[in-house]
Amino acid sequence: MLGSLALPIAQGGGPVIPTFQRGSDCVRENRQFCWDWFSSHWSSTFQPRLIEHIELTAMAVGIGFVIAFATALVAHRWNWAVNPATAVFALLYTIPSLAFFQLMVPFTGLTRLSAEIALVSYTLLILFRNILTGLREVPPDALEAAQAMGLTPRQTLWRVELPLAMPAIMAGIRIATVTTISLTTVAAFIGVGGLGEPIFNAIQTGFKTQFIVAGVLAVLLALAADALLVVLQRVLSPWAKSRAA
């Protein structure tokens, strides 16, 4: 087994330096893509990062949605709240991600919490805007009909307005999700893992395969999430014709 071959050093008692596994020619020459390296490192290096990435994203979009949804309901009811909420969320959105993550560290450490605070913040603007717009775009006829049927405001909200707002809400979730996947790669800068970690590590060695694999995996994840959410959108609002835009 490789590594068990030991090179004893001087009799003076230096350390035993094992013979480490030699990289394949592809790897040593840093050729464009080394499939062998990729397949041997998938489960140790890339799969855990992919799972971390999904976890970080899901948590951010989930928490962001709850906050944005609550804010949108408030703004829908009390119109004066729209501008302050939009202003705050827009302000958070404009902070460059590399800065936001670093600035959280003194408060919440090199932890997922720091990353999540930033990631959640970035979802709020798009989710809030889309949920609110969706609610506002509900046709007045529908509201009138609901009133005529004797529904309370709460019932109207949950049985009429929200279902009709579903396309806009799903559109917002979709954009927020792919944006978060993108930003989560940057979060690796403060050491929380995810697919950004192999990217930042690859800078150490300039190893092309590592750059490409990490990048491609992130792209595939984003496209897969986007596609999944399109399907979900169709499932949840089958009455909405796909707009030819």
Q: Between residues 120 and 222, which has the closer beta carbon with respect to another protein?
A: 222
For residues 116 and 197, which CB has a smaller minimum distance to another protein in the complex? Answer: 197
CB 86 within 8 A of CB 93: no
Options 70, 103, 113, 145; binder of another protein; rule CB under 8 A? 103
Q: Which residue has the tokens 């395969």?
A: 209
Q: Which of 70, 98, 113, 145 binds another protein (CB under 8 A)?
A: 98
Place of tokens 């499932």: 235
Burial letters 72-96, b for 16+ CB under 10 A, else e: bbebbeeeebbeebbeebeebeeee
The footprint of another protein on residues 121-140 (CB under 8 A) is 126, 129-130, 133
Size of the site for another protein (CB under 8 A): 102
Instruction: Output the smallest distance, CB 20 to another protein, in A.
Output: 4
The least distance separating another protein from the CB of residue 238, rounded to whole angstroms, comes to 9
For another protein, the binding residues in 216-235 under the rule CB under 8 A are 216-219, 222-223, 225-226, 228, 232-233, 235
92 binds another protein (CB under 8 A): no
Counting other chains too, the contacts that 197-200 makes at CB distance below 8 Å and 24 or more residues apart are 197/49, 198/45, 198/46, 198/49
| CA-based radius of gyration for the chain | 25
Q: Which one of residues 70, 74, 84, 102 is an interface residue with another protein (CB under 8 A)?
A: 102
Pick out residues in 157-186 that bind another protein (CB under 8 A). Answer: 158-159, 162-163, 167-168, 170-172, 174-175, 178, 181-182, 185-186
The residues in 18-77 that bind another protein, with binding defined as CB under 8 A, are: 18, 20-23, 27-28, 32, 37, 41, 43-45, 47-48, 50-52, 54, 58
Start-to-end Cα distance in the chain: 62
Burial grade of 10 (CB within 10 A; 0-12, 13-18, 19 or more): exposed
**Considering only residues 71, 121, 123, 209, which one is a binding residue for another protein as defined by CB under 8 A?**
209
Question: Could you give the residue ranges of the DSSP H alpha helices within 109-195?
Answer: 112-136, 140-148, 153-156, 162-187
Say whether residue 90 binds another protein (CB under 8 A). no
Q: Answer whether 56's CB lies under 8 Å from 194's CB.
A: yes
Give me 81's structure tokens: 């709240």
* Among the listed residues 82, 117, 157, 195, the single contact to another protein using CB under 8 A: 195
Of 62 and 84, the one with the shorter C-beta distance to another protein is 62
